[in-house]
Every structure is written in structure tokens, then in C-alpha cells.
Amino acid sequence: MTKIFGICLDLKPETVITVSGFLLCNTLKTIGEGLSQSGYSKIYLFLKGPAVLLECSGKIQRIVNPFLDLGLEVEILYCSSALKEYEVIVAEDRIAGLGTWVELCLKAPTFDFTAPQIIQSFICITSSPDHGNFNLQLDLALASALFDTEPTIVLMGEANQVKTAKYLNTANAKKLDGAKHYGVIRVVHEDVLSSLIDNLGFDVRIVNVHNFKNNGFWHTIFKTPPLKIEDALYPINQSTRFVLV
Amino acid sequence: MSLMSEAEWSLEWSRQQSIILDLFWCDHLQILVKLCRQFYLDYAHSPNTRVLIKYFQSHYDVDCNSIQLQLLLKGNPAVVLARLAGIPKPKQCF
């Protein structure tokens, strides 16, 4: 099994040269070290939103170099429905997507993201119910649902424990039960997504992907808890997965 | 205002709170207070106004909207109802 890791960047090029950008690069370096030690050989770097301008502004090297220094191969992919708006010209085989688009972009890298897509809205919860991030991710999901996005909550990895007897009467489980009152359509197991990609030869995980419709176009936003450098990131020693920064 | 136990909380206690808040203690308000408390007991968190309204409308056939609630409660409906129901103040922003 090829061990590939995906990172999505959604930031303006000018951010790279700020303190936030410096911290981000350090975070990416930390991720890279973890990946290198865990046997990963390649990284897909998804450029999302204004990040598609990173490469043409030359600032992408600040992000890519730490990975290259660690011996990791980096493939840059463009994940935006507004390439024309940003006046970025990209070879078709470098246009890709995340979330429910993962299957499409891997099977058909030339998938046209400039056209409106009717796709479901998924919000993924990944943390263990024992961890504070679970509540944070659930709050994000509920807050999104309140905006009439009618999302489906996808429980992934350790988050599935919330459905076990051990957590049955905990505040987190009860809060999840009340999600329907916020407009959440349903709460499902990650197999719903995994089944989309079973035939692709490697495992892909998605973290907090949320699609919304605006002016007739579907957009995707990504919500993760604030990352701190000293925090343990997502478990990266088991399977291929995507982390969004 | 923190959660009061089932033994401590009563409608009479809520009524006294409503007097302090200068609210009209009607049957309608009593139902809303009970439902608000029930939401907390069922789902372990205090609902905000929008969720409360959805909850009222979808489960108990209670006629209400945010304007009615604001007029009835003279303030943020979720916060006032939480106080009357003896449950924690809701988080206004997730």
C-alpha cells in the first residue's frame, strides 16, 4: 500500500511571510518529520482558495522545502473552483479536490470544478469522545447546521466510540443525539465515505470537510480545531490520510 | 445560573424568577420553560434560540417564533428561558 499523505492549504500567499505563516511552516515541518518517521514517501499538497496563488508568487517553496529536505516527494494539486477568478492556469492533471470529490479527482483528475456540483454536505468528527476536540468539532458541526446547510455528520476513527455503551449517557453522546434539532440530516459511520474509495488502492481519510452553496456554486470549507505546534496532530502512523491546515 | 436538580427546581421557582424579571407568567411561558428544561435533560446542553424554536415546533406543536419569544421574554429568549428553567446559560457562539 502506498503511503500518501494529503495536506490542504487555504491561505493567502502574503500570509506565508507573516508570523502566522512562520508558525504554519513550522507546523508543516513537524508534520513532515512525523510522516518521514512513519514511512510516508509522498505528500499531496492541495492548494485551496487563494492558496492557488502560492506557486505563481514563488512562496510555495517555503512550504515545500521542509518536506523535500526530509526526503519526501511533494505533488502540488489545485483544489479550487475559482481558478479562472484567480487567473491561474494549471495543467488539468493538477486540478484535484477533497471531500466527496476525492473519488472523482482520483479517478478523473480532470474533473471540472468550475461547474456547479450537487454534492452532499459532510462534516466529519474525528476526535475521541474523551478528548476536548470532540466537543469542539461537534460544536462546529452544529453551528454549520444552523445555517441551513443540512449536513450529514460523519463519525470517523476514534469518534465512533461515542456510539458505544461506554459513552451512552455522556454529555457528548446526548449532544450528538440532539444534532437533528440543529438541522443535521443524519449521523453516519465513516464507511459511507470509505465505500466511495474502496477500489482506489489506498486509504483516504477526510477531516472536517464542509460544502456549502453560494450563488449557485458549491464551495468547500474545511474546519479543524486550531493547531498548536506542541499539540499531537492527527495519528499519522497507521494509514494514509489527509490533514487540513 | 447553574443547573438545578430535579428536586430543587419547580415551576413555582420559575414563577418567582419571572417576577424578578418582570415577565408575564402565562401558560404558554410555562410550557416553554418545561420544554427548555427537557431539552437540557435530553441533550445535555442548553439550546440557543434558533434550536429552541425548531425544537418547539417540530416536537410539541407549540406555536412560536423568535419575534413572539422576544416580546414574551423581553430579552434573549434562550438566555431568559435558561434562567427560568434553571439550566446553564447557553453558549451564544459555538
Nearest CA in chain B to A182: B51
User: Would the CB atoms of A175 and B45 count as touching at under 8 Å?
Assistant: yes
Q: How confident is the model at residue B84 (pLDDT cuts 50, 70, 90)?
A: very high
pLDDT of residue B49: 87
pLDDT of residue A190: 64
Does the pLDDT value for residue A195 go beyond 50?
A: no
Q: How confident is the model at residue B33 (pLDDT cuts 50, 70, 90)?
A: very high
pLDDT of residue A80: 65
Between B29 and B93, residue with greater pLDDT: B29
Q: How confident is the model at residue A165 (pLDDT cuts 50, 70, 90)?
A: very high
| C-alpha span between A43 and A203 (Å, rounded) | 14
Instruction: Compute the count of residue pairs across chains A and B with CB atoms less than 8 Å apart.
Output: 39
- State phi, psi for B6 to the nearest 5 degrees: -60, -35
Q: How confident is the model at residue A232 (pLDDT cuts 50, 70, 90)?
A: very low
Q: How confident is the model at residue A168 (pLDDT cuts 50, 70, 90)?
A: confident
Give me the percent of chain B exceeding a pLDDT of 70: 88
Q: How confident is the model at residue A131 (pLDDT cuts 50, 70, 90)?
A: confident
User: Would the CB atoms of B43 and A143 count as touching at under 8 Å?
Assistant: no
| Residue B93: CB atoms within 10 Å | 6
Using a CB-CB distance cutoff of 8 angstroms, which residues of chain A are in contact with residue B49? none
Q: What ipTM was assigned to the predicted interfaces of this complex?
A: 0.73
pLDDT of residue A117: 34
Does the pLDDT value for residue A111 go beyond 90?
A: no
What's the whole-number average pLDDT of chain A? 65
pTM of the model: 0.51
| C-alpha span between A31 and A48 (Å, rounded) | 19
Chain B residues contacting A, CB < 8 Å? 39, 42-45, 47-48, 50-51, 54-55, 58, 91, 93-94
Between A29 and A205, residue with greater pLDDT: A29
Using a CB-CB distance cutoff of 8 angstroms, which residues of chain A are in contact with residue B44? 170-172, 174-175, 178
Per-residue pLDDT, averaged over B21-27, amounts to 90
Per-residue pLDDT, averaged over A197-202, amounts to 38
pLDDT of residue A32: 77
Q: How confident is the model at residue B16 (pLDDT cuts 50, 70, 90)?
A: very high
Q: In the 3-class helix/strand/coil scheme, how is chain A assigned residue by residue?
A: CCCEEEEEECCCHHHHHCHHHHHHHHHHHHHHHHHHHCCCCEEEEEEEHHHHHHHHHCCHHHHHHHHHHCCCEEEEEEECCCCCCCCCCCCHHHECCCHHHHHHHHHCCCCCCCCCCCCCCEEEECCCCCCHHHHHHHHHHHHHHHHHHCCEEEECHHHHHHHCHHHCCCHHHHHHHHHHHHCCCEEEECHHHHHHHHHHCCCCCCCCEEEEEECCEEEEEECCCCCCCCCCCCCCCCCCCEEEC
Per-residue pLDDT, averaged over A108-121, amounts to 37
pLDDT of residue A19: 64
Does the pLDDT value for residue A97 go beyond 60?
A: no
Q: How confident is the model at residue B81 (pLDDT cuts 50, 70, 90)?
A: very high
Per-residue pLDDT, averaged over A81-91, amounts to 72
pLDDT of residue A238: 37
Task: Identify whether the C-beta of residue A42 lies closer than 8 Å to the C-beta of residue A2.
Answer: yes
Q: How confident is the model at residue B93 (pLDDT cuts 50, 70, 90)?
A: very low
Nearest to B43 among A139, A140, A178 (CB): A178
Nearest CA in chain A to B39: A178
Chain A residues contacting B, CB < 8 Å? 139-140, 142-143, 146, 170-172, 174-175, 177-178, 181-183
pLDDT of residue B27: 87
Using a CB-CB distance cutoff of 8 angstroms, which residues of chain A are in contact with residue B3? none
Q: How confident is the model at residue A191 (pLDDT cuts 50, 70, 90)?
A: low
Q: How confident is the model at residue A210 (pLDDT cuts 50, 70, 90)?
A: very low
Task: Indicate the burial class of B27 (C-beta count within 10 angstroms; 0-12, 13-18, 19 or more).
Answer: exposed
Does the pLDDT value for residue A120 go beyond 50?
A: no
Residue A114: all three cell numbers together: 468550475
Per-residue pLDDT, averaged over A26-52, amounts to 75
